[in-house]
């Protein structure tokens, strides 16, 4: 979720040797008993039935058996994890417990004497750290909305002021602010932001660098969301858990915490075929097939398969997260230890993965007349005043001007062009764009915000001296369609 007033970034200085020492070894799938045909079938299934994957890494016996990124996504760039961040927050709590800083049985109110209500209810008084970890705080709904909208920015105080309808311990209610409270507790105890606390204890040993974490208005890492790392970082994290906290001969996270965090601590449903009903641990989901996972909105996954000694790391922008898991169970899971010949096609297939570009032609008669054309836009919610088009060989540049300045989107007509835009706020979002002419009067541009799950399709329809600009996102927490912009060329607008 896109909440938080700031981002805490831990730099990459003096980390090169540590990161390189933690690069995961690569091998052919057959070397670790994985059938190439199963991986190919998985790729076919997700592209034909699901769509929207951005990256995939499959580890078996500690080695990378398959990896691929859908261009313009790339292994060099981090990706928003959304609620997969929760599993990292849980790890920080486990480390703090191991250091004797707290216990899972500690009462939540004991950490917040200045934020506590004057007369806390019995249910609030009974709430313990383990209830935050297991999403069993006693609330009937997710508290994130009213907490994050607190006018004074004091999310902890807002959380503690909300009614706790049930005795903590039941029922399970997914509650992202419960995880935020864990982050706030760690910061209270250590004087460090979560990302800073984890750096020497988790990130540095695993070779994870350049990570960022969103913060609340008071400078506390959001905990339940907001972490961005690379796909291989997700894979390393999963491998650490698969190895019960052991990394390069050193116990990074206590094995008993790993066991507790990934075990069923509370029930969360009774549908045997639903991967959201198999039980919940300490910020980890139990799955079918004796698998567990951390996951985040729109398809960010760290899937750990103890029986197969395997890890699957995925980033994506999908609306149906269960469909991706089904493809894993249907194709990758049975590919383990299944005899299969080396087909020789998988490497090329993985190298050629790409987000589908807009359908159409790279050139059209209208393109010649676009260069320098300026449209005055009717009043709109985005406060866009004008749109300018520039056309040259192999690209079209759309520049929108609003009350905060000029926002340029360079769109390749035969390949992706990378850039950045601050159209909807700072900091500027990294974007890669590619376009096509659907017909002589319709320009379609696809903009991948390649450090996030979001892909925006912009459609421009030209009619004489008028243009209509509409757009739609692939996924979103609310409406995915934006306001339609209507404009006329400067000359006609003046007349």
CA distance 145 to 168: 20
Host domain of residue 401: 365-494
CA–CA gap between residue 161 and residue 79 (Å, rounded): 34
Pair (99, 178) in one structural domain: yes
Q: Where residue 220 sits, what CATH number does that domain have?
A: 3.40.710.10
Positive or negative torsion for Cα 380, 381, 386, 388: negative
With 60 as the cut, is the pLDDT of residue 8 above it? Answer: no
Q: What is the pLDDT of residue 461?
A: 96
pLDDT for res 3: 34
- Local confidence band at 11 (pLDDT 50, 70, 90 cut-offs): very low
CA dihedral sign of residues 176, 179, 180, 181:
positive
Tell the burial category of 289 from Cβ atoms under 10 Å away from its Cβ (0-12, 13-18, 19+): middle
Residue 490 lies in a domain: yes
Please check whether residue 456 lies inside any domain of the structure. Answer: yes
Mean pLDDT for 207-229 is: 98
pLDDT tens-place string over residues 344-375: 799 999 999 999 999 999 998 888 788 889 99
H or E, element range at 7 = strand 6-9
Contacts of 427 (CB under 8 A, 6+ apart): 7
pLDDT-above-90 percentage for the chain:
87
Mean pLDDT (whole number) for 311-338? 96
359 inside domain: no
Distance CA 29, CA 32 (A): 6
Considering the domain architecture, whether residues 318 and 423 belong to the same structural domain is answered as no
Domain CATH number, residue 415:
2.40.128.20
**What share of the chain has pLDDT > 70, as a percent?**
94
pLDDT band at 22 (very low <50, low <70, confident <90, very high): confident
Residue 372's pLDDT is what? 87
Give CA–CA dist 102/93, Å, rounded. 8
300 and 409 both lie in a single domain? no
Residues 313 and 449 in one domain: no
Query: Is 292 a residue whose pLDDT tops 60?
Result: yes
Q: Which of 351, 386, 418 is the last residue of a domain?
A: 351
DSSP string, 239-255: HHHHTTTEETTEE-S-H
Considering the domain architecture, whether residues 298 and 209 belong to the same structural domain is answered as yes
**Could you tell me if 112 and 28 lie in one domain?**
yes
- 1 in any annotated domain: no
User: Is residue 321 over pLDDT 90?
Assistant: yes
Shared domain check, 282 and 411: no
Instruction: Tell which of 284, 319, 351 closes a domain.
Output: 351
H/E run at residue 350: helix 346-351
Residue 478 neighbours by CB under 8 Å, 6+ apart: none
**Do both 170 and 307 map to the same domain?**
yes
pLDDT digits (tens, 9 = 90+) for 60-84: 999 999 999 999 999 999 999 999 9
**Measured distance CA(180)–CA(182) in Å, rounded:** 5
Our count of domains for the chain comes to: 2
Q: How confident is the model at residue 18 (pLDDT cuts 50, 70, 90)?
A: very low
**In whole angstroms, what is the distance from residue 471 CA to residue 449 CA?**
14
pLDDT of 488 over the 50 cut? yes
pLDDT at 368: 79
Would 360 be classed as within a structural domain?
no
Query: 2-11, 37-46, 105-114, 328-337: which has the minimum mean pLDDT?
Result: 2-11
Give the C-alpha separation, 281 to 267, whole Å: 9
Q: What is the DSSP string of 428-445?
A: PEEEEEEEEEEETTEEEE
- Same-domain status, 167 and 297: yes
pLDDT digits (tens, 9 = 90+) for 159-187: 999 999 999 998 999 999 999 999 999 99
**Average confidence score pLDDT of the chain:** 93
Based on the domain organization, do 328 and 370 belong to the same domain?
no
Digit-coded pLDDT (tens) for 251-263: 999 999 999 999 9
pLDDT at 1 over 50: no
pLDDT for residue 19 is more than 70: no
Which of 351, 383, 407 terminates a domain? The answer is 351
Domain annotation covers residue 235: yes
pLDDT confidence tier of residue 425, bands split at 50, 70 and 90 = confident
For residue 356, being part of any structural domain is answered with: no
Q: Are residues 393 and 275 in the same domain?
A: no
Report how far apart, in Å, the C-alpha atoms of 403 and of each of 44, 382, 384, 423 are.
Answer: 45, 9, 7, 10
Checking if the pLDDT of 209 tops 70, the result is yes
Same domain, 321 and 429: no
The answer as to whether 55 is a domain residue is yes
- 299-312: per-residue pLDDT in tens? 999 999 999 999 99
């Amino acid at each position: 979720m896109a909440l938080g007033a700031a981002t805490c970034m831990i730099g990459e200085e003096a980390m090169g040797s540590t990161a390189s020492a933690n690069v995961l070894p690569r091998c052919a799938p057959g070397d670790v008993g994985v059938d190439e045909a199963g991986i190919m079938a998985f790729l076919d299934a997700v592209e034909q039935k699901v769509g929207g994957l951005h990256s995939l890494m499959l580890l078996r016996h500690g080695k990378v058996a398959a990896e691929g990124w859908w261009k313009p996504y790339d292994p060099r760039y981090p990706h928003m994890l959304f609620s997969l961040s929760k599993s990292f927050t849980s790890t920080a709590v486990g480390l703090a417990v191991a250091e004797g800083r707290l216990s899972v049985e500690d009462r939540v109110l004991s950490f917040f004497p200045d934020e506590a209500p004057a007369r806390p209810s019995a249910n609030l008084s009974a709430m313990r750290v383990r209830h935050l970890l297991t999403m069993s705080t006693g609330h009937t709904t997710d508290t994130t909305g009213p907490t994050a909208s607190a006018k004074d920015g004091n999310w902890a105080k807002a959380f503690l002021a909300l009614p706790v309808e049930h005795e903590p311990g039941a029922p399970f209610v997914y509650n992202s602010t419960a995880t935020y409270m864990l982050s706030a507790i760690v910061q209270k105890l250590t004087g460090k932001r979560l990302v800073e606390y984890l750096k020497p204890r988790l990130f540095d040993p695993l070779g994870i660098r350049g990570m960022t974490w969103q913060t609340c208005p008071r400078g506390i890492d959001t905990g339940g969301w907001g972490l961005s790392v690379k796909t291989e970082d997700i894979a390393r994290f999963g491998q650490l858990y698969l190895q019960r906290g052991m990394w390069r001969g050193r116990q990074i996270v206590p094995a008993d915490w790993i066991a507790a965090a990934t075990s069923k601590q509370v029930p969360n449903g009774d549908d045997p075929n639903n991967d959201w009903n198999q039980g919940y641990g300490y910020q980890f989901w139990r799955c079918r097939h004796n698998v567990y996972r951390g996951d985040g909105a729109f398809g960010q996954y760290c899937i750990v398969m103890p029986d197969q000694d395997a890890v699957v790391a995925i980033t994506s922008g999908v609306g149906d997260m269960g469909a991706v898991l089904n493809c894993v169970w249907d194709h990758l899971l049975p590919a383990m230890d299944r005899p299969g010949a080396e087909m020789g096609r998988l490497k090329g297939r993985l190298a050629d993965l790409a987000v589908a570009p807009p359908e159409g032609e790279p050139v059209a008669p209208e393109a010649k007349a676009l260069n320098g054309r300026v449209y005055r836009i009717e009043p709109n919610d985005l406060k866009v005043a004008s749109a300018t088009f520039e056309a040259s060989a192999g690209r079209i540049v759309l520049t929108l001007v609003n009350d905060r300045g000029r926002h340029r989107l360079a769109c390749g007509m035969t390949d992706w062009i990378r850039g950045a835009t601050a159209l909807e706020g700072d900091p500027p979002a990294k974007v890669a764009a590619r376009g096509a002419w659907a017909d002589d009067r319709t320009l379609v541009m696809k903009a991948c915000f390649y450090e996030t799950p979001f892909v925006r399709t912009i459609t421009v329809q030209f009619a004489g001296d008028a243009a209509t600009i509409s757009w739609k996102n692939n996924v979103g927490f609310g409406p995915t369609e934006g306001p339609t912009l209507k404009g006329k060329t400067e000359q006609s607008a003046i007349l």
